[in-house]
Amino acid sequence: MIRILPEILSNQIAAGEVVQRPASVVKELVENSIDAKARRITIEIEKGGKSVIRVADDGAGLSRDQALLAIERYATSKIFDQTDLFSIATFGFRGEALPSIASVSKFCLVTKPKDADTAVRVEMAGGKLVQVSETGAPAGTLVEVKHLFFNTPARRKFLKADTTEAGHITDTISGMALGNPGVGFKMVASGRPVRHFPPDQDLLHRAMLVLGKDVADQLYPLAYSTANISITGVCANPAVTRSTANRIYLFVNNRLVYDKGIVAAVFRGFEGRIMKGRFPVAVICCDLPFDQVDVNVHPSKREIKFLSPQPVYQAVAQAVAAALKAAQQNAAAYAGSRPVPGSRISDVQKKTGFVQDSGYRAVQSAISWGPGRKSVPEPSPGSAPVPAAENTDAAEIRDVAEQHPPAIFGQVMGTYIIAEQGDRLMLVDQHAAHERVVYEKLKHRHTHLPRDSQFLLVPETLEMGAGEADLLSNILADLEALGLVIEPFGGTTFVVKAVPGLLAQKPVASLVHGIVETLMETGDTGIKEQWLENCLISMACHHAVQANKSMSLPEMASLVKDLFACDNPFHCPHGRPTMVSFDKTRMEKLFKRVV
């Protein structure tokens, strides 16, 4: 027998898609407030949002009739016909959120348009209308959601500890605050203020608050655009990393979304600067014509579809790469940037529940609605982010290095070179630095110069495992293009005939084994650029001077000079830093000459 579902039941089913946890309620309510042009939004929660969620705004408000309509399924003021569906500029449009939320909670809506004398109060319980009354209230809207899932115990069971749910809510608010820097947000959990972002901020200042004080002076603005794609946002210095992707915020036409392709593009922008297994910190805002994005592919609208994704990904990668390149111009600030001390701790907090990033500390003192920018930490002088500009590259660093060659003082711990340049003290990791230098030389040679092979006087025979032999047979031609000439010698035996000139003096068997092992591990043989890249990295690593090897002063000087001539002098090809630097201000701070 086929039946039409009773309305409450169908709302509850919709709630399963729209409302998974308290944070999803907060997201829907706050989005509604932003759609209603609110300037200030206050979010209060009790017990991680399980017992109370209250969202109040100073937005447009609703008349009595509108309010009653708003709680009906498919009632929306934001979309009228099919053409609207493909040019959605508001967060909401499905008209599902309020009735879904009301069907699984004790729900109350108090709302008043600016020109109305009284507010209307609509109370519901488990999706049934309980009471509609008049009341006094400020202009705007207050939605109160109590006892979420009280009537759907199965769902209630899936909720996590209060602190975990509160953490999800804080994350949600941080995300929405980044996407809407003009809107003020205040969050109070169990009576305690936990977040405060004043209205009328720009993205950079908002990002400083949301991402936290420790990251604040290590953010670089993004600015990149093509004919119809514009990328703005910020990315953090590569020294600031996290163990998950949860500090990569993506906005597409202001909507907080998740998109694997964009995350991959961010990584491409950071390529060669970040270590494997670590995640950068970034806020990426992509703006493109509304009809280029389908936002209606997922009930909670978290996923989207680009009509043509590649140009968007390309633009994101370019924007990030350009910002980092520009930031490198200010070498002292870029290399002086240290891993954020708090980052590990906050990773731990993340896993254990309540997340309180240091943004909170920065704003704690300004928790009441005060005049906007006061509470924003000013970027410290000398480390102000360098605006992205066209045609900026390491050329300038190179010029500076040429005019004032760094003075070398020696080597410590058999590994670190001590150098001074201008007002900077630098510590250079000799292995990482040399790896970078060799890698760029090999790469340059490979892309711009004819093949350079040096034939071995005595060809070397290699014994490979069966799997390794297969892999090696498949890449012989490409290795030859890199200058490494290897021929099969029957079965799993191979003969190395020639090696790249740069690597001539090195034992060759371990090099080839090293390359094959890395490729087996990374399984990258599919994409040619990627595995060629890995080969070059293996070669560079193999050839580079090891740690704990003593170097003469002239050797060190020439290494540092070569390093500064690189395109990306600050990171080894694996993404580790090649140097740390201390400018005068930082030294003075360390010795408390200044505070």
Amino acid identity at 373:
R
CB of 287: closest distance to Mg ion in angstroms? 21
- From the list 44, 57, 165, 357, which residue makes contact with ligand ADP (rule: CB under 6 A)? 57
- From the list 45, 52, 53, 98, which residue makes contact with ligand ADP (rule: CB under 6 A)? 98
Which residue reads 């759907």 in tokens?
A: 152
Residue 76 in contact with ligand ADP, rule: CB under 6 A: yes
Structure-block tokens of residue 521:
């591990």
95 interface partner picked from Mg ion, ligand ADP, none, CB below 5 to 8 A per type? ligand ADP
Of the candidates 257, 246, 307, 309, which has an alpha carbon nearest to the alpha carbon of residue 285?
A: 257
Judge contact between 518 and 470, C-beta under 8 A. no
Binding mask 126-165 for ligand ADP (x = CB under 6 A): ---------------x------------------------
d(CA 374, CA 369): 11
Judge contact between 250 and 259, C-beta under 8 A. yes
CB of 516: closest distance to Mg ion in angstroms? 55
d(CA 103, CA 116): 28
Closest residue to bound Mg ion by CB? 92
Nearer to Mg ion, 27 or 445 (CB): 27
**How would you label 344-377 residue by residue, b for 16+ Cβ within 10 Å and e otherwise?**
eebbebbeebbbbbbbbebbeeebeeeeeeebbb
Of the candidates 133, 167, 226, which has an alpha carbon nearest to the alpha carbon of residue 48?
A: 167
From the list 26-34, 106-114, 171-179, 303-311, the region that binds Mg ion by CB under 5 A is 26-34
Binding mask 430-449 for ligand ADP (x = CB under 6 A): --------------------
For helices 553-564 and 395-403, give the axis angle rounded to 10 degrees. Answer: 150
Q: Looking only at residues 521 through 550 of this chain, which bind ligand ADP when binding is defined by CB under 6 A?
A: none
CB of 78: closest distance to Mg ion in angstroms? 8
From the list 29-37, 246-254, 397-405, 448-456, the region that binds ligand ADP by CB under 6 A is 29-37
d(CA 357, CA 372): 20
CB of 96: closest distance to ligand ADP in angstroms? 6
Q: How far, in Å, are 331, 336, 345, 517 from residue 522 at the CA level?
A: 32, 32, 30, 9
Which residue reads 């209308």 in tokens?
A: 129
d(CA 384, CA 394): 18
CB of 85: closest distance to ligand ADP in angstroms? 12
93 interface partner picked from Mg ion, ligand ADP, none, CB below 5 to 8 A per type? ligand ADP
214 interface partner picked from ligand ADP, Mg ion, none, CB below 5 to 8 A per type? none
Judge contact between 561 and 569, C-beta under 8 A. no
60 interface partner picked from Mg ion, ligand ADP, none, CB below 5 to 8 A per type? ligand ADP
Binding-site size, ligand ADP (CB under 6 A): 22
Q: Which residues contact 82 (CB under 8 A, 6 or more apart)?
A: none
Taken in order 250, 256, 261, 264, the sign of the CA dihedral is positive
CB of 102: closest distance to ligand ADP in angstroms? 9
CB of 128: closest distance to Mg ion in angstroms? 21
* Length of the chain, in residues: 595
CB of 593: closest distance to ligand ADP in angstroms? 53
Residue 97 in contact with Mg ion, rule: CB under 5 A: yes
Nearer to Mg ion, 6 or 16 (CB): 16
Judge contact between 278 and 241, C-beta under 8 A. yes
Judge contact between 44 and 188, C-beta under 8 A. yes
Residue 581 in contact with ligand ADP, rule: CB under 6 A: no
Residue 97 in contact with ligand ADP, rule: CB under 6 A: yes
d(CA 344, CA 357): 11
From the list 24-32, 40-48, 253-261, 312-320, the region that binds Mg ion by CB under 5 A is 24-32
Residue 32 in contact with ligand ADP, rule: CB under 6 A: yes
d(CA 70, CA 246): 33
Task: Report H helices in 80-134.
Answer: 82-85, 97-103
- From the list 11, 12, 32, 111, which residue makes contact with Mg ion (rule: CB under 5 A)? 32
Structure-block tokens of residue 315:
């633009």
Nearer to ligand ADP, 186 or 213 (CB): 186
Residue 92 in contact with Mg ion, rule: CB under 5 A: yes
Q: Show the beta-strand stretches assigned E in 113-244.
A: 119-125, 128-135, 140-146, 184-189, 192-197, 219-225, 230-236, 241-242
From the list 32-40, 144-152, 464-472, 495-503, the region that binds Mg ion by CB under 5 A is 32-40
CB of 92: closest distance to ligand ADP in angstroms? 2
162 interface partner picked from Mg ion, ligand ADP, none, CB below 5 to 8 A per type? none
Residue 94 in contact with ligand ADP, rule: CB under 6 A: yes
Judge contact between 239 and 288, C-beta under 8 A. no
**Quick check: helix, strand or coil at residue 112?**
strand
Structure-block tokens of residue 93:
């449009």
CB of 78: closest distance to ligand ADP in angstroms? 5
d(CA 500, CA 511): 11
d(CA 100, CA 14): 6
CB of 564: closest distance to ligand ADP in angstroms? 55
Residue 77 in contact with ligand ADP, rule: CB under 6 A: yes
Nearer to Mg ion, 97 or 293 (CB): 97
Residue 62 in contact with ligand ADP, rule: CB under 6 A: yes
What residue ranges bind ligand ADP (CB under 6 A)? 28, 32-33, 36, 57, 59-62, 70, 75-78, 92-98, 141
Residues that bind Mg ion (CB under 5 A): 32, 92, 97
